[in-house]
């Protein structure tokens, strides 16, 4: 394919996107990265999608850990509609569906003001007020709920 390093596998590409909070690459950056990738038989894909970089801080957490429910069902369903793409509210442990289903968690966040939710699909955290993913490894308030949800997902 045009623009692909000789011998590169079609799926072995890397994004050249600027990402959130990063400067755009100039031609020198692109050339250096393309040369390094070529050494590994890969090609730089300048047309790749966006890079999602979770935030390392959220002002809506206010320093307190999120509520950890007594039990977490690894096959949780939305309490409003029964959808299986469920989220857990970090403030009250309500189990509601994602914004890609019937938007019950987003509505809950807006109506009640509970900012942070945990997706049971991929264990990602989202702040509905920041409109951003949150980095569980950098934000200690997220870790107890993350750990409990992870344990629930891997339980036999």
Tell me: the pLDDT tens digits for 16-38? 444 444 456 678 777 877 887 77
Tell me: the pLDDT tens digits for 61-80? 988 889 999 999 988 999 99
Confidence class for position 47, pLDDT limits 50, 70, 90: confident
The pTM of the full predicted model, rounded to 2 decimals, is: 0.68
Instruction: Return the closest-CA partner of residue 63 out of 142, 155, 147.
Output: 142
Q: Is it the case that residue 130 has pLDDT exceeding 80?
A: yes
Q: Residue written as tokens 């870790």?
A: 143
């Amino acid at each position: 394919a045009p623009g692909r390093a000789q011998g590169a596998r079609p799926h072995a590409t890397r994004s050249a996107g600027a990402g959130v909070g990063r400067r755009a690459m100039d031609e020198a950056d692109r050339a250096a990265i393309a040369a390094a990738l070529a050494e590994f038989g890969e090609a730089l894909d300048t047309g790749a999608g966006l890079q999602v970089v979770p935030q390392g801080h959220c002002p809506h957490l206010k320093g307190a850990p999120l509520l950890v429910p007594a039990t977490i069902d690894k096959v949780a369903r939305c309490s409003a509609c029964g959808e299986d793409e469920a989220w857990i509210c970090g403030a009250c442990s309500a189990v509601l569906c994602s914004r890609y289903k019937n938007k019950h968690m987003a509505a809950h966040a807006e109506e009640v003001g509970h900012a942070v939710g945990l997706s049971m699909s991929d264990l990602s955290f989202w702040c509905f007020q920041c409109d951003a993913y949150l980095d569980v490894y950098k934000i200690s308030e997220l870790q107890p709920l993350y750990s409990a949800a992870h344990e629930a997902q891997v339980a036999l």
